Structure 1
Amino acid sequence: MNEAADTDAHGSAVLDREPRAASVVVRAYANPLPLGFFSFGIGMALLACLALGVITGSEQVRATGVLLAAFVCPLEILAAVVAFLVRDTGAASALGLFSTSWGALGVLYILSPDQQTSRTIGVYLCAFALMLVPLTAVAFLGKRLLGLVLSVSIARGAFAAAYQLGAPHALQTADAVTALLLVGLAVYSGTAFLIEDVRQRTKLPIMRHGDARGAIEDDLAAQQARLPREPGVRRQL
């Protein structure tokens, strides 16, 4: 609240306590989810080929690491940043976690291309899968397609973690199968969100409901009603 000094008829100072209006500018951004899903699918294809033994040898594994760190990771980071700018905290958090995960795994493949299993990676994958659980639960409250992708990602992370921690080779095969399933889901999801953004209507089922459906169908005034209380506008997080 701004207080401006003024004077009354006798020349005494008085305070103008009338609140001043604040303007909030909202920028229009493109939907980052197609980029996020398509780059995610490429990364999963590489991991599936590693798990299936299609990609073998130190040089090939190192090349895979370079692609994960230099191609997949930056695109996921870009998608995460735009998702934060459009105020989709759930999608931004998931994209942010996956983006740096691609970078970290890529660096490990570059530095240790001959390493088969690692307890450190196993613990990391367990923790990563655990952090996806609340994101998945929240995703199912609005965008069930995103929740499905995250659910399969949790299963894939659990399979990969178990193998890294000493489980039988069958768990690596399960890891590869779920990674391939994620490739298919990424292609579908990226295409569905891309068509929705280009055509301005949902063509392929995204399974939106609740507030997520309202974000597509409600008018602008209704959607921006909470804007003064959102992070970046209010004084504290």
Structure 2
Amino acid sequence: MANEQPHRVALYWAPRPESALWQAGCQWLGRDAATGKLLPQPAIDGITTEVFEALTAEPRRYGWHATLKPPFRLREGTGLLDLDQAVQTLAGQFKAGTLPALRVEPLGNFLALRPQGTPVAANALAAACVEALQPLSRPLSAEDLQRRRRAPLTPHQDALLQRWGYPWVFDEFRFHCSLTGPLDGLDAGSREALMQAAGHRFNHLPPEPLNSIAIFIEPTPGADFQLHRHLGLST
């Protein structure tokens, strides 16, 4: 296998493709990142197909997941083989477990699937992914920094951005699976309809295992992210 270097890579928690949560999440977003297939999205009363497609466009591109280490570019001279080896080593240092139950709730100005209670093991795994894989990460360009700073950042968040390439890591990290992009301009009734539809789809699903790190890749700039592989945690 060639040691290829895609445009960007990311480390996620993602359900296994055969799981009920993976199927539910992919159908909600309208794309399966394991197969690359577009999927018909659910119909939601009071929200048109076009509006729902637009509301889910951002998370659809990134694939159904919760971020552990956000998308980054690999350093010159490194590729997927190097990343696979580093993630495999890291994964072997963590014991597999179970996430707290995931439920639908607002997070800032979007809708997300969030753990009920503090996901201690997931937070620790995310912090380790950010820190341990940073040596493989290419420093942000001035353009990247400017783009990230379009969102209002505190001085602490800006310091995290400069050091780790992303402002929402470590104490700023919030484990979540994004269900929508920003809900700006959506009226209260439509927001409630989204909440109810998402809750009906996701809130009854059983707790999920935390037993692997998923590597996703963005093959070329602006392309949809694809599931590359799962690397299992220690048992």
Q: Normalising TM by the smaller chain, what interval?
A: under 0.3
Instruction: Give the TM-score normalised by the residue count of structure 2.
Output: 0.22
Instruction: Give the TM-score normalised by the residue count of structure 1.
Output: 0.22
| Structure showing greater Rg | 1
